[in-house]
Amino acid sequence: MSYATQAANYRDLEVLGAPPERLLLMLFDQMLVQFERARLGVERNNVEMQVVALTKVRAILGELLATLDFEQGGAIATELGDLYQFLLVQLLDLGKRPDVARLRRLAGIVATLRDGFAGAAEQLTAVKLSA
């Protein structure tokens, strides 16, 4: 078995065995990686790199939006939904008019969200351990 196959199997096991809060952080981490790739694509005038990266970010945001539970999540779910939709609209516009500064601002929003979810995950873990 090749190293690439072993690495892919390890990643699959990591995802399959991860709790929901860890999966959420993995999605946000992947979005940040893709924002960086999109930025590099714009700076290098590599349209393919930019388009592929932005498409991946849109797919992740679409998944996050689809999994929001508006009944249980209440106002927080509604606000997250609005924020995800805002990001999606911005990404569509970036596809037409690439802008490194705007990519950085959007990545900053995603990083802030990721940090917030990481803090919530830490609190959830602490609660689970103390129970």
Please give the pLDDT value at position 20.
86
Please give the pLDDT value at position 6.
56
Please give the pLDDT value at position 85.
98
What is Dmax (Cα atoms) for the chain? 53
Please give the pLDDT value at position 14.
58
Cα 38 to Cα 90: distance, rounded to the nearest angstrom = 13
In terms of Cβ atoms closer than 10 Å to its own Cβ (0-12, 13-18, 19+), residue 34 is buried
Please give the pLDDT value at position 10.
47
Residue 39 has a CB neighbour count (10 Å cut-off) of 20
Kindly indicate whether the domain formed by 21-130 is annotated with CATH number 1.20.120.340.
yes
The two structure tokens encoding residue 23: 């999966």
Please give the pLDDT value at position 16.
57
Contact assessment for residue 50 and residue 34, using Cβ atoms and an 8 Å cutoff: no
Please give the pLDDT value at position 17.
63
What are the residue ranges in the chain where pLDDT is below 70? Answer: 3-17
Task: Enter the pTM of the model.
Answer: 0.84
